[in-house]
Every structure is written in C-alpha cells, then in structure tokens.
C-alpha cells in the first residue's frame, strides 16, 4: 500500500470535482478523502496500490466535464487508515 496527496488547481470548485474524485477513487478501490481548499484548489488524499494511484492521478488531471484542470501537484504521503473514500466539507 502507498499513499499520495494531490493538489489540483484550475477551475475545480463548483464544477462537481469532489463528486468526480470520490466516484473515480471508489471505482479504483482507493480510500481517503477529497476536500476544497480556501485558495481555490482541491486536495485529494488517497491510499492504495501504486498502479491504482497512478490511474487516479491521470483521472484527476482530466477532471469532470465542466472543470478546467491547470495542474496537479503530487506528493508521497504517510499511510493513514480510512474505511472508504469520503468528501470532506
């Protein structure tokens, strides 16, 4: 198991990005969370296999239909236990 922290920038708030990230991460069998940040970015924390995390990274770079992703910063993170993938408010 591995963990990654992603910071997604662009037009990613108010366009269903958190719902999209939750659906994609759950589809891939990942656990963690997604939340909006005050600076307009979206933060995604995910744990799972390196291959599935790589798939998620590509999906986050694409984003949902109405988003306009300008970039994704990706960092290694410490593994933390989450039972599923949740949207944090």
Residue 73 maps to a domain = yes
Average pLDDT of the segment spanning 6-12 = 98
Beta strands in the chain (DSSP E): 2-11, 31-36, 42-48, 68-76, 85-87
pLDDT in tens, 33-89: 999 999 999 999 999 999 999 999 999 999 999 999 999 999 999 999 999 999 998
User: Residue 24 falls within a domain, yes or no?
Assistant: yes
Structural domain includes residue 61: yes
pLDDT at 54 (0 to 100): 97
The residue annotated as part of the active site, out of 9, 11, 36, 61, is 36
pLDDT of 28: 98
Q: How many domains does the chain have?
A: 1
Q: What is the CATH number of the domain that holds 69?
A: 3.30.70.100
Which is it for the CA torsion 7, 10, 14, 18, positive or negative? negative
Residue 89 within a domain? no
Q: Has residue 88 been placed in a domain?
A: no
Report the alpha-carbon distance of residue 30 to residue 87 in Å, rounded: 13
Task: Answer yes or no: 62 catalytic.
Answer: no
Question: In the annotation, is 41 catalytic?
Answer: no
Q: What is the pLDDT of residue 2?
A: 97
Domain that includes residue 64, residue range? 2-81
Cβ atoms of 89 and 42 closer than 8 Å: no
């Amino acid at each position: 198991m591995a963990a990654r922290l992603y910071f997604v920038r662009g037009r990613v708030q108010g366009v269903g990005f958190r719902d999209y990230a939750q659906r994609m991460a759950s589809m891939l069998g990942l656990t963690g969370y997604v939340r909006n940040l005050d600076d307009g970015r979206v933060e995604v924390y995910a744990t799972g296999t390196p291959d599935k995390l790589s798939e998620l990274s590509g999906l986050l770079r694409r984003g949902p239909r109405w988003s306009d992703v300008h970039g994704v910063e990706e960092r290694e993170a410490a593994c933390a236990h989450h039972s599923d993938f949740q949207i944090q408010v």
